[in-house]
Chain A
């Protein structure tokens, strides 16, 4: 359960947003909208605890995320603008290492299954350097899929994905919400998700 209370964000000398309040409960999707530079990414970074807000606070299950620390990080999966994919590693190494580091290690066959599901099975041993932008995004999505986090924070999740991958990611997100997960998604496109409860926030 997420509560955002009177959140204010200042970048440099610019006020991005002020007194933002919203809550999100399990199975709820928050769609974050707004023009470029309106502070969507800044808000997401505050939500995952990477940045601190100028004022206000974010509560997770009634406790400030600042005091929860690692306990909160374990419940959060953040898909950033950057894919966090290592060029030097192959697709399967990238997946196995990032899941291992996050504490959900996969063995080789499990990792292959995930890559197959995301449509990268014939690319698994190629270094990520030679993958296309869309394929790298798919790889980042694969890491998200394997996380056991209940709270997904997704920044422009559909960027550079083709129609098939967009359809896939819609399925994943719907499935996550159906299983009692929570998601905050910054997007410019319509997600058309079959979520029961959707809240839209304009920045």
Chain B
């Protein structure tokens, strides 16, 4: 018997989560609408002054992205935990690290990439320049995977608990702070005309760090949660 490759098993987990997300597309759209509505309410509430809007834009886009990604964290493992498929996923020949990584990748593709694609359109409401809009997209592209990676730790730790949603927020939001600071810093720098590159490099470094450690921490947390 030829041993099946780890890539193909990784692919099946990813494919599985993408199909399931497609069958629940209303949930996915809810996250996106939340992001759109929160970012659109601010210009309406604050008034059309371009100077003010440009100053607050980076913070609002990033805080809205943070909160929107929080909304969908429960779905990474929640349903699988309830119907017993999570146990079966952990009982496979592939390391738990890879299962977790595939699920995080699926979560990012489903819940975060639409926000990244939508962000430049929303940025227009704040009167951001073309260059700023580009940095909005780049910083979100680098930063949102970190949100999925770190969020998965919180989601795994709170599996099966009653106040899981509140706990996830308490656990995860403080850990999101570096991403928030670096992400808004990058966009702010384009508005102020200072150097953008350092902020993006910091975001990239955070991404690498989260990529290495978060799936490992998440799989350890999952093993405790299913026990």
Contact = CB atoms under 8 A, between A and B. Distances in A.
Interface string B3-38: 110001100110110011001100000000000000
A94 to B, nearest CB: 9
A102 B16 CA distance: 12
A84 B9 contact: no
Interface in A29-68: 45, 48-52
A101 B226 contact: no
Interface stretch (A14-22, A71-79, A181-189): A71-79
A17 B87 CA distance: 23
A81 B10 CA distance: 26
A26 interface: no
A50 B84 contact: no
A88 B4 contact: no
A48 B85 CA distance: 15
A97 B12 CA distance: 7
| A contact patch SS | loop
Nearest to A49: B91
Interface residues of B, number: 27
B227 A86 contact: no
Contacts of A125: none
B90 interface: yes
Contacts of A51: 227
A138 B87 CA distance: 19
A93 B84 CA distance: 17
Given A78-B87, A80-B87, 14 more contacts: A48-B91, A50-B226, A73-B91, A85-B83, A88-B20, A93-B19, A97-B19, A98-B85, A100-B12, A101-B13, A101-B88, A103-B92, A104-B4, A105-B12
Interface of B: 1, 3-4, 8-9, 12-13, 15-16, 19-20, 23-24, 83-85, 87-95, 226-227
17 contacts: A48-B91, A52-B227, A69-B95, A74-B93, A81-B84, A82-B84, A84-B88, A85-B83, A86-B83, A87-B83, A88-B20, A98-B88, A100-B16, A101-B88, A103-B8, A104-B4, A105-B12
